[in-house]
Amino acid sequence: MSEAILSNLPFVSLLIVVCSFSLVYYLIPKIIFMVNHHDLNEIPGERSAHVKATPTMGGLAFFVVLMVNMFLLKHMDLEQMGLNLTAALTLIFVIGLKDDLAVSTPRARLLIEILALFIILMHPTYHSTSFDGFLGFKQVPTWLLDGIHIIIALTIINAYNLIDGVDGLASALGISMFSMLGFVFFSMGLNFYWLLCLGLIFMLLAFMRYNFSHWQKIFMGDTGSLIIGFCIAVLSLKFLTIETTAFSEFRFKIENRLFIIAAIVVVPLFDMLRVIGIRLLNRQSPFIADRNHIHHVLLDLGWAHYKIALLLGVLNYSLAIGIIFLSVHFNSFQMTLALLVILVLFFMIFHRLKLRSLKKHELKTL
23-27, 115-119, 346-350: segment of lowest average pLDDT: 346-350
* Confidence band for 249, pLDDT divided at 50, 70 and 90: confident
Strand partners, 130: 139
pLDDT at position 46 over 60: no
Q: Cα–Cα distance between 236 and 266 in angstroms, integer?
A: 13
d(CA 262, CA 299): 26
Q: H or E segment at 141?
A: none
Q: Are 188 and 257 in contact (CB under 8 A)?
A: no
Indicate if the pLDDT at residue 182 is higher than 80: yes
Give per-residue pLDDT as tens, 253-280: 999 999 999 999 999 999 999 989 888 8
Q: pTM score > 0.85 for this model?
A: yes
| Integer angstrom CA distances of residue 73 from 41, 54, 205, 206 | 34, 34, 20, 20
36/20 Cα distance (integer angstroms): 24
Helix locations, the chain, DSSP H: 2-5, 9-37, 59-72, 82-101, 106-121, 142-163, 169-187, 191-211, 221-241, 257-264, 266-281, 294-300, 305-329, 332-365
* Amino acid, single-letter form, for residue 144: L
pLDDT in tens, 286-344: 777 778 889 988 998 889 999 999 999 999 999 999 999 999 999 999 999 999 999 99
For residues 133 and 267, what is the distance between their CA atoms, to the nearest angstrom?
A: 26
Q: What are phi and psi of 28, to 5 degrees?
A: -60, -45
Mean pLDDT of 20-40: 91
* pLDDT, average across residues 189-215: 95
